[in-house]
Amino acid sequence: MKLAAGITYDDSGAGGVPIICLHGIGGDTTSFQPQLDGLSDSNRVIAWNMPGYGGSTALTPPTFPALADALKGFLDALGLAKAHLCGQSIGGMLALEMACTYPEYVASLALIGTTPAFGGRDDSFRDQFVAARLKPLDAGKSLAELAETFVAEITGPIASPATIKAAQATMAAVPEATYRDIIRCLTTFNRRDDIAGLTIPVCLISGEHDQNAPAKTMARMAEKIPRSEYHNILGAGHLINLEAGAQTNAILTEFYRRHS
């Protein structure tokens, strides 16, 4: 584990424009362990801990513009003028935010289990979502207890028991204050009208059983992005790059080979 600009991260491999991996709400650097292991033979792969996670300095409160600024500062601290951004779930949303805010830093996007905006178009849906996600914590449950059921619900039938157990442990380690803040931050995201203007290569990867970023939603998203390619992994749920590490890596390897 290394530290740069208040961000802790893992760094593996070397060569070319690096791949920056951005994890989801219940994740950390280990959420991209299959990519750190499987892509680093021919690429430099860096997985960060988002602010508030894994010892990274928290933002109070986190917002997408502030997270993009933190990511820019992280890249600057590492001396990286450009990077491939690979994000899962909210990490993919942040990758989109970065591409819209600081496009000069972004060589390509890989969006895994990601949507172009938070679902719902009114405040009542947002408020209900936040209340439902935080209700167990308000009732006294811990993140570890929440992870026991939540991870199993969002993974697909191909997820191994070991993968589920590891993801549960990762989510259990998220500070409760960070989890509460990032849930609220999630509901503010909307780049729906901006994706058609992306000019960089974009790889979208969905999971057949993902209900958080449904395959049909990601397929429609791909249709609106000019230089995009779309892949759907059968049997996978929301934690696609963990559940189907080898399949995800095969897709990404070919994508980065063509756009390195």
Element of type H or E holding 84: strand 83-88
Alpha-carbon span 245 to 35, nearest angstrom: 7
Q: What is the DSSP letter of 83?
A: E
CATH superfamily membership of 2-259: Alpha/Beta hydrolase fold, catalytic domain (3.40.50.1820)
Residue range 27-43, pLDDT digits in tens? 999 999 999 999 999 99
Element of type H or E holding 176: helix 176-186
Task: Compute the half-sphere exposure of residue 45: CA atoms within 13 Å on the CB side of its CA.
Answer: 25
Alpha-carbon span 259 to 205, nearest angstrom: 16
Alpha-carbon span 157 to 16, nearest angstrom: 36
Sign of CA dihedral 103, 46, 117, 174: negative
The predicted pLDDT at position 121 comes to 66
Of 74, 91, 84, 71, the C-alpha closest to 28 is 91
Q: How many CB atoms lie within 10 A of CB 40?
A: 17
Residue range 151-204, pLDDT digits in tens? 999 999 999 999 999 999 999 999 999 999 999 999 999 999 999 999 999 999
Residue pLDDT tens, the chain, 260 long: 999 999 999 999 998 899 999 999 999 999 999 999 999 999 999 999 999 999 999 999 999 999 999 999 999 999 999 999 999 999 999 999 999 999 999 999 999 999 999 987 677 888 899 998 999 999 999 999 999 999 999 999 999 999 999 999 999 999 999 999 999 999 999 999 999 999 999 999 999 999 999 999 999 999 999 999 999 999 999 999 999 999 999 999 999 999 98
Alpha-carbon span 106 to 260, nearest angstrom: 12
Q: 61 — phi, psi (to 5°)?
A: -90, 165
Alpha-carbon span 113 to 31, nearest angstrom: 13
Q: How many CB atoms lie within 10 A of CB 258?
A: 11
What are the structural domain ranges in the chain? 2-259
The mean of the pLDDT values for the chain is 96
Q: Which residues contact 246 (CB under 8 A, 6 or more apart)?
A: 34, 38
Strands 7-12 and 2-4: antiparallel
Alpha-carbon span 71 to 41, nearest angstrom: 24
N- to C-terminal Cα separation, the chain: 26
